[in-house]
């Protein structure tokens, strides 16, 4: 019987069981090929999430700068490595969760070395960015730090990843499980894709699962297939509460989930020992969040603080449209640290512009145009960049769009303390 301190997490995980499904769909194959088929399916999902990740703002130029790696050399090196060496390396990690080594784990390590060898640049660069966030949330909730590697097998660390069955985000939350843990999901906002909120929810969910099973390996397995399937496997095994003793009674996809987790942990720590060299690239590690008090459109944030809309989308993947609906709840905006002072300076102007667009005079927001392709306007060009004479009905924003620049730059160039301009005023470009 559960103690009173464990009733709430037990209820949460039981409710979650009814509303969640396994992250991955099963494939039908002959019994003796189950593990191979599950591994191929898992790697296919990983590859799909990884390929989607490369479309994000910060990774579009990745292939232009990466070095190519011969994955065959890595796999050949692994094949020559004795089991005793792999087992000793896993034991040296000093993890709370047992890093069991067996034939299943070895097969998954081999697969991950194969698939990750040419992707290690991205995985390590994303680790530099996300893992401090993961570590903080996991430690705060009393969850072993090594679970920071779980998003590798869940989503390839892609916050925009979505599974066939609708699981979303870095931690692949299903809709109802996310709701149970306080994640907002609607037509405008999807907190499952918010790295901060989804990580906190995942840490709480994992802790609740541990409070039910009192075993971290079973908690991880339950994260994949639901606590109900774990309880069924325990019952069918004769009451054994050990993952490897209930292994044959688990859903097929969950049998491979723990070996995959151990394999990902091994590869992320020991890839150099197999001849792989990570060529890290720059990500916006120096970013911070600011509370948003009123509705805010990305187009105006982009204009005033000189951050592209694509970059705003990449830093704030939880917003399904380019709008933060702050009038309906508590929301934040993530920005590069060096832009926070501009956000504070122009915050009120952005609120006013957004309110006008949403309620007073809705307008179609034009995309940013580089100077070379900007629309022709009635300004005169000179060696100092030119001058624009303000006409009736023009605003500083419309002038900025016409010349392919930003409001912030025009204000700085003309020493303007506000957005107010008058007809006949000369604006330096």
Q: Dihedral sign for Cα 44, 50, 54, 57, please.
A: positive
Annotated catalytic residue 154: yes
Distance, in Å, from the CA atom of 139 to the CA atom of 97, rounded to the nearest integer, reads: 14
Cα of 99 vs its chain's centroid, Å? 26
Beta-carbon count within 10 A of 314 CB: 19
Distance, in Å, from the CA atom of 364 to the CA atom of 362, rounded to the nearest integer, reads: 7
Could you say which of 154, 303, 311, 347 is catalytic?
154
Annotate 60-94 with b (16+ C-beta within 10 A) or e (fewer). eebeeeeeebebeebbeebeeeeeeebbebbeeee
Which long-range contacts (C-beta less than 8 Å, at least 24 apart) are formed by 57-64? 57/308, 57/310, 57/311, 57/313, 57/314, 58/282, 58/283, 58/284, 58/311, 58/314, 59/122, 62/121, 62/122, 62/281
C-alpha distances out from residue 120 to 62, 150, 175, Å: 12, 16, 31
The answer to whether the beta carbons of residues 113 and 6 sit under 8 Å apart is no
Annotate 178-211 with b (16+ C-beta within 10 A) or e (fewer). bbbbebbbeeebbbbbbbebbbbbbbbbbbbbbb
List residues bridging with 334 in a β-sheet. Answer: 289
Distance, in Å, from the CA atom of 133 to the CA atom of 250, rounded to the nearest integer, reads: 32
Residue linked to tokens 């292939």: 63
6-34: pLDDT as tens digits:
344 444 544 444 444 334 333 333 444 55
pLDDT on residue 364: 46
Q: What tokens does 142 get? A: 């009393």
Distance, in Å, from the CA atom of 331 to the CA atom of 51, rounded to the nearest integer, reads: 29
pLDDT on residue 55: 67
Q: What tokens does 237 get? A: 């095994």
Beta-carbon count within 10 A of 376 CB: 7
The 3-state secondary structure of 112-155 reads HHHHHCCCHHHHHHHHHHHHHHHHHHHHHCCCCHHHHHHHHHHH
**6 in the Ramachandran plot: left (φ > 0), alpha (ψ -120 to 50) or beta?**
alpha
pLDDT in tens, the chain (429 residues): 333 343 444 445 444 444 443 343 333 334 445 566 667 777 777 777 777 776 676 676 655 555 566 778 888 999 999 999 999 999 999 999 999 999 999 999 999 898 877 788 888 888 888 999 999 999 999 999 999 999 999 999 999 999 888 999 999 999 999 999 999 999 899 999 999 999 999 999 999 999 999 999 999 999 999 999 999 999 999 999 999 999 999 998 899 999 999 999 999 999 999 988 877 766 666 788 899 999 999 999 999 998 988 889 989 999 998 999 998 888 999 999 999 999 999 999 999 999 988 876 554 443 333 333 334 444 544 334 577 877 766 788 778 777 777 788 888 888 887 778 877 788 888
Residue linked to tokens 């306080």: 182
pLDDT on residue 329: 81
Distance, in Å, from the CA atom of 12 to the CA atom of 223, rounded to the nearest integer, reads: 12
Which residues fall within 8 angstroms of residue 180, CB to CB, at 6 or more apart? 12, 15, 16, 19
């Amino acid at each position: 019987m559960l103690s009173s301190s464990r009733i709430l997490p037990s209820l949460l995980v039981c409710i979650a069981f009814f509303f969640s499904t396994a992250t991955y769909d099963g494939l039908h194959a002959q019994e003796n090929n189950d593990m191979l088929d599950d591994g191929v399916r898992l790697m296919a999902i990983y590859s799909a999430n990884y390929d989607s990740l490369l479309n994000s703002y910060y990774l579009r130029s990745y292939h232009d700068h990466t070095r190519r790696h011969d994955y065959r050399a890595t796999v050949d090196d692994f094949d020559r490595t004795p089991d005793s060496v792999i087992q000793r390396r896993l034991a040296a990690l000093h993890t709370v969760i047992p890093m069991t080594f067996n034939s299943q784990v070895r097969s998954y390590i081999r697969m991950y070395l194969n698939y990750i060898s040419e992707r290690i640049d991205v995985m390590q660069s994303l680790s530099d960015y996300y893992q401090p966030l993961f570590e903080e949330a996991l430690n705060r909730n009393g969850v072993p730090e090594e679970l920071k590697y779980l998003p590798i097998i869940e989503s390839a660390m892609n916050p925009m990843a979505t599974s066939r069955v609708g699981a979303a985000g870095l931690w692949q939350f299903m809709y109802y499980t996310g709701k149970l843990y306080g994640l907002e999901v609607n037509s405008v906002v999807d907190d499952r894709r918010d790295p901060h909120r989804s990580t906190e929810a995942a840490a709480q969910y994992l802790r609740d699962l541990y409070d039910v099973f009192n075993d971290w390996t079973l908690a991880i397995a339950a994260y994949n297939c639901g606590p109900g399937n774990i309880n069924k496997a325990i019952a069918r095994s004769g009451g054994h509460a050990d993952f490897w003793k209930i292994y044959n009674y688990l859903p097929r996809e969950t049998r491979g989930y723990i070996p995959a987790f151990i394999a990902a942990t091994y590869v992320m720590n020991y890839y150099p020992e197999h001849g792989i060299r990570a060529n890290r690239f720059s990500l916006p590690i120096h970013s911070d969040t600011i509370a948003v008090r009123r509705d805010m459109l990305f187009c105006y944030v982009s204009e005033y603080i000189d951050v592209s809309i694509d970059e705003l989308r990449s830093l704030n993947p939880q917003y399904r449209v380019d709008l933060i609906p702050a009038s309906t709840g508590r929301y934040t905006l993530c920005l590069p640290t060096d832009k926070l002072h501009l956000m504070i300076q122009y915050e009120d102007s952005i609120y006013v512009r957004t309110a006008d667009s949403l309620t007073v005079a809705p307008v179609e927001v034009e995309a940013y145009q580089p100077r070379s392709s900007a629309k022709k306007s009635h300004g005169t060009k000179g060696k100092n960049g030119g001058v624009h004479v303000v006409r009736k009905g023009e605003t500083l924003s419309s002038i900025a769009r016409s010349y392919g620049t930003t409001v912030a730059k025009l204000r700085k160039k003309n020493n303007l303390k506000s957005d107010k301009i008058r007809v006949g005023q000369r604006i330096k470009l």
